Structure 1
Amino acid sequence: MTTVAILEHSGDKEPKEERAAAGGYISYSNFEFCGYNLKIARIVDDTMGVSAYVWEAGIALCRYFEKEDINFTGKKVIELGSGTGIVGILASLLGGEVTMTDKPKILRQIENNISINIPFACRHRVNVQPLVWGEDHTSFSADYDFILGSDIVYSSVCYPALVETLRHLANQGTTIYISSEIRPRNRSPAFHKEVLPQHFECQVVETVEAKDVVVYKMTKICTPR
């Protein structure tokens, strides 16, 4: 069973628990995926921006893992644009050795949610690192079994850097899951239908029509040397 918490940005009721914090507040929402109860803290202040939300695309990807009974045990996983960390945390609880990445200022939110949701005995399998697409991606290896991303296709300005980063991180055996809310105003339909297929084999594996969310499964197209 999947239980989705009511989100502040959805226009529904406020989350049940909020606490004051310096320069803003921390809001907590509860989720259940794959038998795990997650409590996700969102740091709402002037620095976090869009990273202070649990977006529908992230919920859809977690639901997909639950639906497909995906197990990451023994697999090396990297998540791009982790935000609150909900997807990477679930992948870790499902057995993965997970590196969660985002811009430097977002990492405190990820680390806080790791401390809330991942048992201390399992935290050696979780790593949090800064990663700015197209800039420091080459400092990461290219031996990941899985690359995860939810709502990372949001700004057309970032698309070239995102493609560059994905191409570097992926090898021929890497499975990529990207969950996107399709927004015509940011040219995301063309990015998924025209740009990504130039570099990756792309397959739609899940759609949430009510939320305009699509989950893609991708593998890198490797050209002969």
Structure 2
Amino acid sequence: MALVPYGGGGVLPGLHSPAATYRFAGRPVRIEQSWAQLGVAAVVWDAALVLCAYLEAGNVDLCDRAVIELGAGTGLLGIVAALLGARVTVTDRAAALALLESNVRANLPPELQPRAAVKELTWGRDLGSFPPGAFDLVLGSDIVYLEETFADLLRTLEHLCAEHTVILLSCRIRYERDLDFLRMLRGRFSVHEVHYDPTKDVRIYKAQRGGRKDEI
């Protein structure tokens, strides 16, 4: 696995743009960005695009599934999941919620608005607001990069996941500590790499409790 500095690859020129437009689920998705105000949390990274494409390709049955996105940032991944038929809870810390809410509401047609909720979640702290084990799928893109968050992220995943819950994490491995988190995750879940995009150097990992092979 290549270990490259955070922000490596061809994504940097687009980080400071106020908006970016993509096409998923047969429709344009226009995402507002705010690097100046929120930094890395308010721009679209390659890992989100790769996981969106993975979902769009039909690798996961999203129809009427309960999905939660962690560290959603701009909300692109959760928006795409909702467009593909999921009932989505899109989460991030309080500072990111205004941008997140704006993007979600701007990109979902009226009939899909009730299928998406934006909620505050600081990993390891706000878990009482989320029913344990209530989700079919947990999504995260490029959320593994700050070592001090790893224990709280793992605690959050354990709270959210029942036996049937599938976790999909997409990331570019930049540092040795990223691999440390994967080792931590393997201590609690069965973890497999299910996709690699060599053009963006992004991997998708699937995790599930107890080594079960359930598909959703």
* Corresponding residue of 2:130: 140
Q: Counterparts of 2:140 and 2:92 in 1: how far apart (Å)?
A: 11
| Partner deviation per Cα, 1:81-130 (whole Å, 9 max, x = no partner) | 00000000000011111000000110111111112210122111111100
Q: How does 1:16-31 map to 2 (within 5 A)?
A: 27-31=18-22
Instruction: Select 1:207's aligned residue among 196, 199, 202.
Output: 196
| 5+ residue gaps, structure 2 | 1-9, 212-216
Sequence identity (%) = 36
Normalized per residue, the structure richer in strand is 1
TM-score by length of 1: 0.83
Q: 1:75 corresponds to which residue? A: 65
Q: Which runs of structure 2 are paired with 1:168-187 in the superposition (5 Å)? A: 168-184=159-175, 187=177
**Does the CA contact (< 8 Å) of 2:15 and 2:44 recur in 1?**
no
Instruction: Name the residue aligned to 1:198.
Output: 187
Q: Given that residues 15 and 35 in structure 2 are in contact (C-alpha distance below 8 angstroms), is that contact kept between their aligned partners in structure 1?
A: no
Instruction: Measure, in 2, the Cα distance between the counterparts of 1:213 and 1:11.
Output: 15
- 1:221 lines up with 2:210 in the alignment: yes
Q: Describe the shift of the 1:173–1:13 C-alpha distance in structure 2 as closer, same or farther (beyond 3 A).
A: closer
Give, in angstroms, the shift of residue 66 of structure 1.
Answer: 2.0
Aligned to 2:143: 152
**CA deviation digits over 1:52-105, x for unaligned, max 9?**
210111011011112235341211111100000000000001111100000011
| 1:25-174 correspondence to structure 2 within 5 Å | 27-46=18-37, 48-141=38-131, 142-174=133-165
Distance 1:125 1:136, change over 3 A: same
TM-score by length of 2: 0.87
Over 3 Å counting, the alpha-carbon distance change for 1:13 and 1:55 in structure 2 is closer
In 1: Cα distance, 2:15 partner to 2:169 partner: 28
> 1:209 is matched by which residue type in structure 2?
P
Please identify the structure whose Cα radius of gyration is greater. 1
Please say if residues 138 and 168 of structure 1, whose CA atoms lie closer than 8 Å, have aligned partners that are also in contact: no
**5+ residue gaps in structure 1?**
1-8, 19-26
Secondary structure of residue in 2 paired with 1:206 = strand
Specify which structure has the bigger relative contact order, considering alpha-carbon pairs within 8 angstroms and separated by 6 or more residues. Answer: 2
The verdict on how the C-alpha distance between 1:77 and 1:14 changes in structure 2, with shifts beyond 3 A counting, is closer
Instruction: For residue 37 of structure 1, give the secondary structure of its aligned residue in structure 2.
Output: strand
RMSD: 1.9
Higher mean C-alpha deviation, range 136-145 or range 74-83: 136-145
One-letter amino acid of the structure 2 residue matched with residue 91 of structure 1: A
